[in-house]
Amino acid sequence: MLRDEQRKERRQRILDVAEALVRETNGTSFTMVQLAKRARMSAPTPYNLFGSKGAILYSLLNRAMDDLLSSGAQLEGKAPAALGPVLAMENAANYFIGDPELFRPLYKYQLGEYAKEQRPAYMTRALDYWRHSLSGLIDAGYFSEGCRLPAEDIAVALLSHSIGLLDLWVQHEFTDREFRARMMQGGACIVYPAATSEARQQLDDVLERLRRDIEPGFSFAAQPLHHSR
């Protein structure tokens, strides 16, 4: 039992140090040797406890997902069912915006690296967040048998939308305000076809309020070209 507790404590310390290094370096390029030294451990210990640096970074992502799933569950029943995905989008955006020093580097890694051992489980958990955002609509009977827009397809659309906007925010192509507004706007648009006429009026009201935070046009910042010699 003591050994298990020591193992757990060491894993926690490694994650805390890794998080601190992400913040300090504004990236994920630190080495496992640096991590072990900072955590006051032998060089092999992080490998023995996690297996790879990618597993450590995904453990940080999963720690954040724990918080996001918990906060998402607390939204249930706080608004009409049709607004569930919109509030979930707002909640997710606020969560990322609240700690850019951690989430920009972490998600830059996650969006750019395919970790076949860790990514599938993490993405399943992310999809669960969006599935849960539809629980009010499901309970209200919006997705009855034979519906042309099954709830699972809507959840995948919400996940895909959020990932695309997260990438734009990570790359500083959206301000915090527009990122939040576009997340909410997309959530409203995705669920709109499945909503009743009364619920659509509620969504229309949300979309109208969001207009002031969304730029009328969008263009990508010009990126310098790098020619190989």
Same domain assignment for residues 31 and 139: no
Whether pLDDT at 183 is above 60: yes
Whether pLDDT at 36 is above 50: yes
Same domain assignment for residues 67 and 108: yes
Whether pLDDT at 5 is above 90: no
Residue 28 located in a structural domain? yes
Whether pLDDT at 226 is above 50: no
Q: What is the mean pLDDT of residues 40-45?
A: 94
pLDDT in tens, 192-223: 988 888 889 999 999 999 998 887 777 776 44
pLDDT for residue 224? 43
Same domain assignment for residues 5 and 27: yes
Same domain assignment for residues 92 and 2: no
Same domain assignment for residues 76 and 42: no
Residue 225 located in a structural domain? no
Domain CATH code at residue 10: 1.10.10.60
Residue 134 located in a structural domain? yes
pLDDT in tens, 148-170: 778 999 999 999 999 999 999 99
pLDDT for residue 78? 78
Same domain assignment for residues 7 and 104: no
Q: Give the domain extent around 30.
A: 1-51
Q: What is the mean pLDDT of residues 6-24?
A: 95
Q: What is the mean pLDDT of residues 8-32?
A: 95
Residue 219 located in a structural domain? no
Same domain assignment for residues 143 and 201: yes
Quote the radius of gyration of the chain (alpha carbons, Å): 20
Whether pLDDT at 54 is above 80: yes
pTM of the model as a whole: 0.89
Domain CATH code at residue 183: 1.10.357
Same domain assignment for residues 60 and 151: yes
Residue 19 and residue 38 in contact, taking contact as beta carbons nearer than 8 Å: no
Domain count of the fold of the chain: 2
Both tokens assigned to 158: 């919400």
Same domain assignment for residues 6 and 79: no
Same domain assignment for residues 85 and 129: yes
Share of the chain above pLDDT 90, in %: 71
